[in-house]
Amino acid sequence: MKRIRLTVVLIALWLPGCLFAQSADPKMDGFINGLMGRMTLEEKIGQLNLLSVGFDVTGPLLSQGVEAKVRQGRVGGVFNTYTPVAVRKLQRMAVQESRLGIPLLFGYDVIHGHKTIFPVPLGLACTWNPDLIERCARIAATEASADGLNWTFSPMVDIARDPRWGRIVEGAGEDPYLGAQIARAMVRGYQDGGLSRSNTLMACVKHFALYGAAEAGRDYNTVDMSRRQMYEYYLPPYRAAVEAGAGSVMTSFNEVDAVPSTANHWLLTDLLRDQWGFSGFIVTDYTAITEMSQHGLGDFRTDAELAMKAGVDMDMVSEAYLTHLPELVAHGDIPMSLINQACRRILEAKYRLGLFTDPYRGCTEERARAKILTPENRRAARTAAAKSFVLLKNDRQLLPLKKTGNIALIGPLADNQADLLGSWHAAGDWRSAVGVRTGLSNAAGSAVNVLYAKGANLVDDPALRKFLEQFGSPAPVDPRPPAELVAEAVAAAGRADVVVAVLGESAGLSGEAASRSELGLPDNQEQLLRALVATGKPVVLVLMNGRPLTLGWEAEHCGAMLETWFGGIEGGNAVADVLFGDYNPSGKLTTTFPRSVGQIPIYYNHKNTGRPAAGDPAIKYVSRYLDIPNDPLYPFGYGLSYTTFAYGEVKLSRTELSGAETLLASVNVTNAGTRAGEETVQLYLSQPAASVTRSVEDLRGFQKVFLQPGETREVTFRLTPNDLKFYNARLEYDWEPGTFVVRLGGDSAGGLKSAALTWNQAPAPAQRR
């Protein structure tokens, strides 16, 4: 008896991930052991196959013969299929017509809402409000799960410092600290503390890793980065999402250290599993396995072998696993234990989602009707949108507008519903979106006369327009010549007290495979704006776009500028809320707005260099441009309000600390204006001297305070040695004693109040992270 037990233990140790693997859930283990004991090799490989079928195509290939493969048990999951009818049909096929009746995963890109579409992720991040973002993710999960889905390819947590990259719109911006908080919030919102409730979605953290650092901002391009840079700035949000319990991780299209992520054993196994302890499953991005041939790693069979050995469990669309794994196992190139391990991970996810108990997770048309696009969800979308807008400029309090007089409402995005949804709009229907024109007339009342003119199409270049019609905006094109459109708009402006110009990108100009080399407004819109400004009427520029734009001329000539990103289905109402002052804007940028494309990459947490630019432009041999300043047009953290906030001096509880003590850093913030408003108080930390060079500052805390006019509140942050930590030259996550500077203020640049302190005495032995 003893000997038998010993043998079992030895087998379990010897073949990790084999048939007898153990998790913390013995009931689940027992169930999966039993099931896997009955599975053939082909059926196990089938679980590793993810196919696209249904409503959307998000890559260059479409899966074929899906239904037959489902019946044969050669599919583990599908994506792009939703609605109770479609999901039930396919799921019934899997559970009733395949030999073992294993249910399918149903995935989808629920990125910023399912049918109630919230602002694009970059906009949501500008709320600096993880609780609100968690609520949005919760609503998205409630709607999507009612529509039959159980898995979302979100959160996208790629740090991006290059706005040429169109997918900057899908992430939280450039900062790892804020990015990590948002990543956690989204995982919590989707998974709601576990997956057993049927109104949850399994999260998928993507794109692992470093996808946002594509060279020259061109999508899918090469990434090359030092380990230190990865650990310090790019990896924290992925890790935060993993620690929050995300059930799955998606590989990225790019290479990491000359090995595509999908074949990168160091990334997927050494780092993600062994160092971070990730226990969910890893799925590739769309056809990423077969794309490794183009990267230069060999034929499809080799690619499949490399991906499996690196730690990829599930193959999205390429079917390289389905095609080559049987042969690779037969020839002994892939051990059976790897197949068992990957299969087990997929089955565990299904078990945790409760699919073996109810493969439909209670999705019915009735539930979908009750849960989707409810007035309450729409209200949440409106609030989120208003909070995501960033007031960039407001000369002489041009905003908020009075609810009287004539407003000329101009621009291709002024009476446009489709683009409001942004580039990943999932199941969102643009017809349910409220455009700005409707929003303004809903809010304005009878004393306001809105004079609308389109003024320009989104773009005039015929080739680009055709492309966008195919992949982007279905917004109708006005066939009149550009000059006639402008003349009509100028005439409307002439009759108005104020011009509201709603300009920017069409939704398809950002997002996947939508990189741009110039980041200004499209030429025709720029010309329209210049003509409007030339009328001498005050111009409020309402911007819609999925990335930072270069807006130097606009900032000089428009009286006010409001960045509204793509605000989602309630975008138009939210724009009206802010323009009329029913909501006082509080959003803050989470990506730097450059003056010029030539400054890119530009980000707040840069290094000082040995020759930092000095104030005097006559000085040579310093790190600067001859033709423009180094600093951005709008820095990270920036955003105005209809009121102003005054900061007192920074007060430190001590200026000398040692070891594991706690520092309290406080500042008095006063609402110095006449309207109630919300400020995001930001704490930046720097260490001017350390064993490796550090950024000039790093965000280490933020708090939101809502203040009545004249009200003062003391805002206090607690810092411990944990907040001082960074990756040193040996890649140890540790802190070093020395001098530190704490800066507190309303953005990363202007007018921060600061105080210095010393923190002595290194802690006990360094810990590796």
Q: By the criterion CB under 6 A, which residues form the site for ligand BGC? A: 58-59, 109, 153, 206, 285-286, 512
DSSP track, 191-227: HTTSS-STT--B-EEEEETTGGG-GGG-TT------H
Contact at 8 Å (CB) between 122 and 108?
no
Q: To the nearest whole angstrom, how small is the minimum distance from the Cβ of residue 473 to ligand BGC?
A: 19
Specify the length of the chain in residues.
Answer: 769
| Burial grade of 384 (CB within 10 A; 0-12, 13-18, 19 or more) | buried
Q: Which is nearer to ligand BGC, 129 or 251 (CB)?
A: 251
* Cα 652 versus chain centre, distance: 35
Q: Which is nearer to ligand BGC, 56 or 270 (CB)?
A: 56
Contact at 8 Å (CB) between 609 and 642?
no
Opening angle at CA 260, ends 255 and 266, nearest 5: 100
Tokens 């319990």 sit on residue: 245
Instruction: Tell me the residue type at 151.
Output: W
For residue 349 the two structure tokens come to: 């996810």
| Burial grade of 751 (CB within 10 A; 0-12, 13-18, 19 or more) | exposed
Q: To the nearest whole angstrom, how small is the minimum distance from the Cβ of residue 424 to ligand BGC?
A: 8
Q: Which is nearer to ligand BGC, 90 or 249 (CB)?
A: 249
Q: Which is nearer to ligand BGC, 33 or 58 (CB)?
A: 58
Q: Which is nearer to ligand BGC, 58 or 703 (CB)?
A: 58
Q: To the nearest whole angstrom, how small is the minimum distance from the Cβ of residue 52 to ligand BGC?
A: 7
DSSP track, 543-605: EE-SS----HHHHHH-SEEEE-----TTHHHHHHHHHTTSS------SS-B-SSGGG-S--SS
Q: Which is nearer to ligand BGC, 189 or 587 (CB)?
A: 189
The C-alpha atoms of residue 295 and residue 302 are separated, in whole angstroms, by 12
Q: What is the dihedral of CA 526, 124, 642, 714, to 10 degrees?
A: -150
Q: To the nearest whole angstrom, how small is the minimum distance from the Cβ of residue 200 to ligand BGC?
A: 19
Q: To the nearest whole angstrom, how small is the minimum distance from the Cβ of residue 110 to ligand BGC?
A: 10
Annotated catalytic residue: which of 147, 175, 192, 285? 285
Q: To the nearest whole angstrom, how small is the minimum distance from the Cβ of residue 59 to ligand BGC?
A: 5
Q: Which is nearer to ligand BGC, 52 or 591 (CB)?
A: 52
Q: Which is nearer to ligand BGC, 191 or 417 (CB)?
A: 191
Instruction: Tell me the residue type at 471.
Output: F
Q: To the nearest whole angstrom, how small is the minimum distance from the Cβ of residue 613 to ligand BGC?
A: 38
Instruction: Tell me the residue type at 107.
Output: G
The C-alpha atoms of residue 717 and residue 702 are separated, in whole angstroms, by 8
The question of whether 315 is a catalytic residue gets the answer no
Q: To the nearest whole angstrom, how small is the minimum distance from the Cβ of residue 607 to ligand BGC?
A: 31
Tokens 């939703």 sit on residue: 82
The C-alpha atoms of residue 446 and residue 306 are separated, in whole angstroms, by 67
Q: Which residues are catalytic?
A: 285
